[in-house]
Amino acid sequence: MRTFKNLKGFPVYLSDGREIGKTKDLLLREDGKVDGFIVDGKGWFQRDYVFRISDIQSINDEKIVLNASDLAVELSEKGHRFIEKKNPILHLPVLNEEGESYGLVEDVYLSQKLDTIVAYEVTEGFFTDVTVGTTTLHVQNEQSIGKDAIILY
């Protein structure tokens, strides 16, 4: 499993060897599926790019290579992000179905294919992190990512 914070800032290359930028954020659906990654475009006037999980040719500890020679996916306003301004999940509370809080999202663990959130790293605050550490919550069944909270069923 990889965490998003480990993947943030990874250089992204097209299949022809051109670097298009670095990973900047995730595109998420309400069910915890990952639609893709947002890439911070290179250069002064470059726009952000989006690539879908299905575009990944290979990934290692240093870079992501896409199986495309061109990237023209538009950035959708729908869905959630991990960090960015459009419905971010960073620091959202994680609740069980009875409404009890596990803590606030600090990071997400992604499946081997990077297409699903399989666990959340949550914090209960600075002092708890220092004395006890953060907690990893594995998604057992379903999850629902909402505007104000994430609910694990």
Digitized pLDDT (tens) for each residue of the chain, 153 residues in all = 799 999 999 999 998 888 888 999 999 999 999 988 988 877 666 677 888 898 899 999 899 999 876 665 555 556 788 887 778 999 999 999 999 999 999 999 999 999 999 999 999 877 776 777 789 999 999 999 999 999 999
| Bridge pairing between strands 64-66 and 11-13 | parallel
Q: Range of 114's domain?
A: 93-152
Single residue among 38, 59, 81 that ends a domain in this structure: 81
pTM value?
0.85
Residue 21 domain flag: yes
Question: Is residue 58 situated within a structural domain?
Answer: yes
Provide the pLDDT for residue 84: 75
Residues 75 and 9 in one domain: yes
The verdict on residue 65 lying in a domain is yes
Is residue 51 within 8 A of residue 12, CB to CB? The reply is yes
Number of domains comprising the chain? 2
Q: What's the pLDDT at 6?
A: 94
Triad 70, 114, 11: Cα angle to 5°: 45
Q: What distance in Å separates the CA atoms of residue 39 and residue 28, rounded to the nearest whole number?
A: 14
Task: Give domain status of residue 59, yes or no.
Answer: yes
Tell me which of 81, 102, 121 is where a domain ends: 81
**Which residues have CB under 8 Å from 63's CB, separation 6+?**
10, 11, 12, 13
Final residue of a domain: which of 81, 114, 136?
A: 81
- 113 and 146 in a single domain? The answer is yes
pLDDT of 76 reads 58
Q: Are residues 72 and 99 in the same domain?
A: no
